[in-house]
């Protein structure tokens, strides 16, 4: 009788563990990504507002688009300074990497533009690529050099490709990591304690401790994979892009991969009224995937 009880206990424990694992899965692997539109030249900069509306860029066509919570797709703004990566601040302004003239812009809900950053110590930035804004309003920015067809120059004005921090209200950023080949994707945790930055040229993603003054310390290799864009979910899982979407748990263990039928997956964020829809920019297209978890942006 005791043997049967023990076997029953082991069986129930196994079932319980299996159910727990299933509940922890961030998405249903039988759900294929849903194509929303394929009318663009190159999509980037996925960012979500407080209501769950998603904004993204079509950089070659110099536009910012909006995908609303009710599934409507509209142009939010033309002539966007060739905006690339974007992120909403606490006041609802859309901060963008406007690399037409290597600047950072803040675009208000009524489309008024304020230039936040024009240079670093008198030198042109390489081309602000992606950003994350902390709870104090400071902006972390990656600044790789990608030659753009709309530029007159053909070489960088700065020595190296670095990660910067622009404190709120300041016009000059500080260098927080000068030891990457080509920093690209970037995202921070909602508690403001950690920052993830991808070195896309070295195929690595690092995790840093964020210090009180905005500087970074304790750089550690998170995973040996680079990324164009990044996001986090409520469980601390990290989503990297490039060839589809690869999902890692907070310890850096791979827990999922979402295949996207496009040459390149550039960026992503959680959108929708419940922030449980993964919105993905991929080459000339945009896709969505219903998730079992919510985003934290």
Q: Is the pLDDT of residue 82 over 70?
A: yes
Q: What is the dihedral of CA 289, 293, 296, 297, to 10 degrees?
A: 10
Residues facing residue 109 across a β-bridge? none
Nearest to 58 by CA among 270, 282, 297: 282
For residue 174, list its beta bridge partners: 165
Q: How confident is the model at residue 98 (pLDDT cuts 50, 70, 90)?
A: very high
* Mean pLDDT value of segment 265-272: 98
pLDDT (0 to 100) of residue 148: 97
**pLDDT tens, position by position, 101-121:** 999 999 999 999 999 999 999
Q: Where are the alpha helices (DSSP H) in 65-181?
A: none
Read off the pLDDT of residues 28-80 as tens digits, 9 standing for 90 and up.
Answer: 999 899 999 999 999 999 999 999 999 999 999 999 999 999 999 999 999 99
For residue 80, being part of any structural domain is answered with yes
Which pLDDT does position 24 carry in this prediction? 60
Q: Is residue 143 part of a domain?
A: yes
Q: Is 120 exposed, middle or buried (0-12, 13-18, 19+ CB in 10 A)?
A: buried
Q: How far apart are CA 77 and CA 239, in angstroms?
A: 28
Q: What's the domain range around 73?
A: 41-232
Q: Is residue 294 part of a domain?
A: no
Tell me, yes or no, whether 24 lies in a domain: no
Q: What is the pLDDT of residues 156-196, one digit of tens each?
A: 999 999 999 999 999 999 999 999 999 999 999 999 999 99
User: Where is average pLDDT lowest: 16-20, 74-78, 260-264?
Assistant: 16-20
State pLDDT tens for residues 4-16.
Answer: 455 444 444 444 4
Residue 185 lies in a domain: yes
Residue 283 within any structural domain of the chain: no
For residue 269, report the phi and psi dihedrals to the nearest 5 degrees. Answer: -160, 165
Q: Is residue 179 in a domain?
A: yes
Q: What is the pLDDT of residue 158?
A: 97
Average pLDDT, rounded, for the chain: 93
The separation between CA 149 and the C-alpha centre of its own chain, rounded to angstroms, equals: 24
| End-to-end Cα spacing for the chain | 53
Identify the pLDDT of residue 220.
Answer: 98
What beta strand segments (E) does 118-193 contain? 130-133, 139-143, 162-166, 174-177, 183-188
181 found inside a domain: yes
CATH of the domain at 104: 2.120.10.30
pLDDT digit string (tens) for 138-151?
A: 999 999 999 999 99
The domain total for the chain is 1
């Amino acid at each position: 009788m005791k043997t049967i009880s023990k076997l029953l206990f082991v069986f129930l424990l196994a079932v319980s563990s299996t159910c727990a694992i299933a509940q922890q899965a961030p998405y249903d692997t039988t759900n294929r990504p849903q194509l929303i539109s394929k009318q663009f030249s190159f999509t980037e900069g996925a960012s979500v507002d407080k209501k769950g509306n998603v904004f993204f860029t079509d950089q070659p066509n110099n536009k910012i688009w909006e995908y609303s919570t009710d599934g409507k797709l509209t142009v939010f703004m033309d002539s966007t300074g060739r905006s690339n990566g974007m992120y909403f601040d606490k006041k609802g302004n859309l901060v963008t990497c406007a690399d037409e003239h290597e600047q950072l812009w803040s675009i208000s809900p009524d489309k008024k533009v304020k230039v936040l950053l024009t240079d670093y110590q008198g030198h042109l930035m390489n081309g602000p690529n992606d950003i994350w804004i902390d709870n104090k309003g400071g902006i972390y920015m990656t600044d790789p050099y990608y030659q753009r067809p709309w530029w007159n120059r053909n070489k960088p004005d700065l020595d190296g490709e670095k990660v910067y921090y622009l404190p709120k209200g300041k016009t000059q950023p500080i260098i927080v990591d000068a030891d990457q080949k080509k920093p690209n994707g970037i995202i921070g945790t909602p508690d403001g304690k950690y920052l993830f930055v991808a070195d896309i040229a070295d195929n690595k993603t690092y995790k840093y401790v964020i210090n009180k003054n905005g500087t970074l310390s304790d750089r550690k290799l998170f995973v040996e994979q680079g990324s164009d864009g990044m996001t986090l979910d409520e469980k601390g899982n990290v989503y990297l892009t490039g060839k589809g979407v690869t999902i890692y748990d907070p310890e850096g263990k791979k827990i999922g991969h979402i295949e996207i039928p496009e040459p390149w997956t550039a960026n992503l964020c959680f959108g929708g009224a419940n922030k449980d829809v993964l919105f993905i920019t991929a080459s000339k297209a945009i896709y969505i995937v219903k998730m079992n978890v919510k985003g934290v942006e």
